C-alpha cells in the first residue's frame, strides 16, 4: 500500500516493531513519530513530535490516510503522567485526524481496559470496560473517544485490546493473554485495509486455548492468527504473581492489586 500511514510510538516496543513489520509486508509510505528518535534506520521516515501538543500533532498528520496509534505510556504511572501523555495525547491525535480528514485510526487499547473482570469470565467485544489502573482507564477513554469520532465524524477505527505482545509467553498468565508480533501486525493490517469497518473492538491475542476472550469479531474481519501459546510448556507464575493472590483472580493481573484499597468480594 502506498497511502501514507503515520505510526506513533515508533521508537517504542510495539510501535517500533510495527513500524518495521509494516514496511516488510508492503507499506511503502510510512512515517514514524515519537518523543525521541530511537532505533530508526536511515531509510525510514521519522519526525519527533509531542502528542501533548495539538499544533504539532496536526502538523505531522497532514496528508495521512491512517494512523497507527501506539504512542503512549505503556504501563501504570501517576495520574498526571497518564492524563498528559495517554488521555490528552490520544485526544489530540483524534482531533488532528478530524482536522486533516484522516480516514482511519488503529488504536492500541489494552487488556487493562477490562482488567477487573475475573479470569473465569469470558469476554467478547460487547463486554463492559473494567479498567484496572489509570493506565487502563486511559485505554477505556481511547476506545470511547474513537467510537465518538467514528459515529460523529466517520473516522473509522479499530481498537485492539492487546494482551501481552512479546516474543514468547513468559509466565502462566501469558498462556491466556499472549499475542505474537506477527499476529498483532496482521490485526493492524486488517484495521487499515478492511472495507466495512466502522468502529471495532477486537482482542489482540493469538489462538490460545487458554484465552479468556471470545475473539470471533476479529475472526469475522479475517483475522487468522498464526501463533498460539499452546505450544509453550510454561507452568511458571511470574515472581510478582506468586506473592500476589489478588493478581491471580483478575485478568489484569498485577495491575489490579497495585494500590488496591477496595473490597475484592464486590468486584464480581
Which residues in this chain contact ligand 15L in the complex, by CB under 6 A? 74-75, 110-112, 162, 164, 177
The number of residues in the chain equals 268
Residues 142, 90: contact at Cβ < 8 Å?
yes
CB of 118 to ligand 15L, least distance (A): 15
Residue nearer to ligand 15L on the CB measure, 32 or 74: 74
Residue nearer to ligand 15L on the CB measure, 94 or 178: 178
- Number of Cβ atoms within 10 Å of the Cβ of 142: 27
CB of 100 to ligand 15L, least distance (A): 27
- 61 Cβ partners below 8 Å, 6+ apart? 6, 67, 93, 96, 97, 100, 102
Q: Which of the residues are catalytic? A: 135
Residue nearer to ligand 15L on the CB measure, 74 or 89: 74
CA 235 to each of CA 48, 73, 170, 171, 238: distance values in angstroms, whole numbers, following the listed order: 42, 30, 9, 7, 10
CB of 109 to ligand 15L, least distance (A): 9
CA 91 to each of CA 34, 97, 113, 228, 243: distance values in angstroms, whole numbers, following the listed order: 16, 10, 17, 34, 37
CB of 164 to ligand 15L, least distance (A): 3
Residue nearer to ligand 15L on the CB measure, 25 or 75: 75
Amino acid at each position: 500500500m502506498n497511502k501514507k500511514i503515520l505510526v506513533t510510538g515508533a521508537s517504542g516496543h510495539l510501535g517500533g516493531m510495527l513500524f518495521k513489520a509494516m514496511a516488510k509486508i508492503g507499506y511503502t509510505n510510512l512515517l514514524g513519530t515519537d518523543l525521541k528518535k530511537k532505533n530508526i534506520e536511515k531509510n525510514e521516515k521519522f519526525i519527533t513530535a509531542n502528542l501533548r501538543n495539538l499544533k504539532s500533532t496536526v502538523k505531522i498528520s497532514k496528508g495521512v490516510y491512517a494512523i497507527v496509534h501506539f504512542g503512549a505510556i505503556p504501563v501504570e504511572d501517576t495520574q498526571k503522567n497518564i492524563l498528559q501523555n495517554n488521555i490528552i495525547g490520544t485526544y489530540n491525535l483524534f482531533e488532528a485526524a478530524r482536522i486533516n480528514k484522516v480516514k482511519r485510526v488503529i488504536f492500541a487499547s489494552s487488556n487493562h481496559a477490562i482488567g477487573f473482570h475475573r479470569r473465569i469470565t469470558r469476554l467478547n467485544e460487547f463486554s463492559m470496560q473494567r479498567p484496572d489502573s489509570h493506565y487502563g482507564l486511559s485505554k477505556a477513554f481511547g476506545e470511547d473517544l474513537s467510537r465518538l469520532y467514528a459515529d460523529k465524524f466517520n473516522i473509522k477505527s479499530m481498537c485492539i485490546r492487546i494482551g501481552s505482545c512479546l516474543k514468547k509467553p513468559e509466565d502462566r498468565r501469558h498462556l491466556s493473554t499472549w499475542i505474537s508480533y506477527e499476529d498483532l501486525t496482521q490485526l493492524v493490517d486488517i484495521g487499515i485495509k478492511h472495507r466495512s469497518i466502522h468502529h471495532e473492538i477486537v482482542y489482540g491475542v493469538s489462538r490460545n486455548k487458554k484465552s479468556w476472550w471470545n475473539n470471533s469479531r476479529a475472526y469475522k474481519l479475517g483475522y487468522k492468527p498464526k501463533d498460539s501459546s499452546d505450544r509453550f510448556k510454561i507452568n511458571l507464575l511470574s515472581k510478582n504473581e506468586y506473592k500476589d493472590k489478588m493478581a491471580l483472580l483478575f485478568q489484569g493481573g498485577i495491575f489490579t492489586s497495585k494500590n488496591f484499597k477496595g473490597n475484592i468480594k464486590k468486584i464480581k
